[in-house]
């Protein structure tokens, strides 16, 4: 089966020690079975240090330091596993991050997730988010869907509405909501703020940030293209793998909500530069997208509206 990626995908490269928000901090990093076997078989001195850093209780994972840094992150922000052994000794999760994969009825797709600042930069600054390029093949088989439901067809249809610059951006959002019968505005802003207050947060300050949520569709013109691209990313990531129509609608509601949350943070968070906006999108992503529990809480709301 062929594998496809958005046009901007090939431009992604980890910025390593130049990154201002290392993915090697604050996350529990699981160690897969193949990597465990590599470390156990390796005779290099550093392999012993790796093995001693792994917590074997339940799912094996690297034991974080007190400041929540990976024990293999050096003071300059570089990975000591790569420096000592090479990239082939990275765990699956470290090697793949921030990539994610989507299975559709026709093909497999790969993207880069917005918890990474460099990924956010590409997502928010790249044109032609609707252009996907073939990048290789994988042995996987196409997935089966209910009644041959094709999420890709609906994604293309929504992208056509979203990219129509002859229509004001708020009107484009309203048209998408109307045609698919789902909108965050079916709950009041106060109700959404209550939902947001019940999430689990990596940083307590973000709970206060998210309390600024507003469904108001008025948006400064200079931010509309950023919001359009962010919504396109959310739709790609969350809607493309839908197996039937109701699931697609539920996921689309989640995406529209995430776009409004991002918009709220831009308006009320004093995000004056592109760099500020990139950090806000990363925050929305890591607090909700990268928390399975938080994502499900938000998606579940749309199952009842």
At 233 the pLDDT is 98
In this prediction, residues 140-145 reach a mean pLDDT of 69
> Do residues 187 and 82 both lie within one domain?
no
At 117 the pLDDT is 93
> Do residues 44 and 172 both lie within one domain?
no
Residue 256 lies in a domain: yes
Instruction: Convert the pLDDT of each residue in 194-244 to its tens digit.
Output: 999 999 998 899 999 999 899 988 888 889 999 999 999 999 999 999 999
Locate 143 and state its tokens: 């997935």
Residues 92, 174: Cα–Cα separation, whole Å: 40
Which of the residue ranges 152-156, 161-165, 188-192, 263-267 would you say has the lowest mean pLDDT?
263-267
In this prediction, residues 258-287 reach a mean pLDDT of 91
Residue 16 lies in a domain: no
In this prediction, residues 103-110 reach a mean pLDDT of 89
> Do residues 81 and 156 both lie within one domain?
no
For the chain, the domain total comes to: 2
Domain residue limits at 211:
143-302
Residue 17 lies in a domain: no
167 or 22, which is more confident: 167
Residue 8 lies in a domain: no
- Sign of the Cα torsion 159, 165, 169, 174 reads negative
At 45 the pLDDT is 94
Residues 100, 236: Cα–Cα separation, whole Å: 11
> Do residues 186 and 73 both lie within one domain?
no
From 81, 96, 111, the end of a domain falls on 96
Q: Is residue 287 predicted with pLDDT exceeding 70?
A: yes
> Do residues 203 and 274 both lie within one domain?
yes
Residue 7 lies in a domain: no
pTM exceeding 0.95: no
> Do residues 214 and 272 both lie within one domain?
yes
In this prediction, residues 272-295 reach a mean pLDDT of 94
Residue-averaged pLDDT of the chain: 91
Closest CA to 159 of 95, 229, 224, 93: 229
pLDDT confidence of 146, banded at 50, 70, 90? low
**Percent share of the chain, pLDDT over 70:** 97
């Amino acid at each position: 089966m062929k594998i496809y990626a958005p046009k901007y995908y090939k431009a992604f490269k980890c910025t390593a020690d130049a990154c201002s928000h290392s993915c090697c901090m604050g996350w529990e990093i699981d160690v897969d079975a193949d990597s465990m076997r590599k470390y156990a078989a390796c005779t290099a001195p550093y392999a012993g240090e790796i093995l001693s850093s792994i917590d074997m209780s339940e799912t094996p994972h690297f034991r974080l330091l007190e400041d929540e840094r990976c024990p293999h992150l050096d003071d300059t922000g570089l990975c000591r596993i790569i420096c000592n052994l090479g990239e082939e000794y990275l765990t699956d999760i470290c090697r793949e991050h921030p990539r994610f994969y989507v299975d559709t009825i026709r093909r497999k797709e790969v993207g880069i997730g917005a918890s990474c600042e460099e990924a956010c930069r590409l997502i928010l600054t790249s044109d032609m988010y609707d252009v996907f390029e073939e990048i290789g093949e994988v042995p996987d088989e196409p997935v089966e869907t209910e009644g041959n439901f094709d999420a890709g067809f609906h994604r293309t249809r929504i992208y056509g509405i979203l990219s129509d610059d002859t229509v004001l951006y708020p009107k484009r959002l309203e048209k998408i909501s109307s045609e698919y019968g789902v909108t965050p505005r079916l709950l009041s802003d106060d109700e959404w703020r209550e939902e947001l207050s019940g999430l689990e947060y990596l940083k307590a300050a973000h709970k206060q940030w998210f309390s600024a949520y507003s469904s108001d569709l008025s948006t400064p013109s200079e931010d509309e293209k950023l919001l359009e691209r962010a919504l396109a990313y959310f739709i790609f990531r969350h809607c493309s793998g839908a197996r039937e129509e109701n699931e697609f609608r539920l996921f689309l509601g989640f995406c529209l909500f995430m776009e409004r949350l991002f918009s709220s943070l831009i308006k009320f968070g004093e995000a004056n530069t592109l760099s500020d906006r990139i950090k806000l999108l990363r925050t929305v992503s890591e607090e909700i997208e990268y928390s399975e529990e938080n994502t499900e809480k938000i998606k579940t709301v749309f199952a009842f509206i």
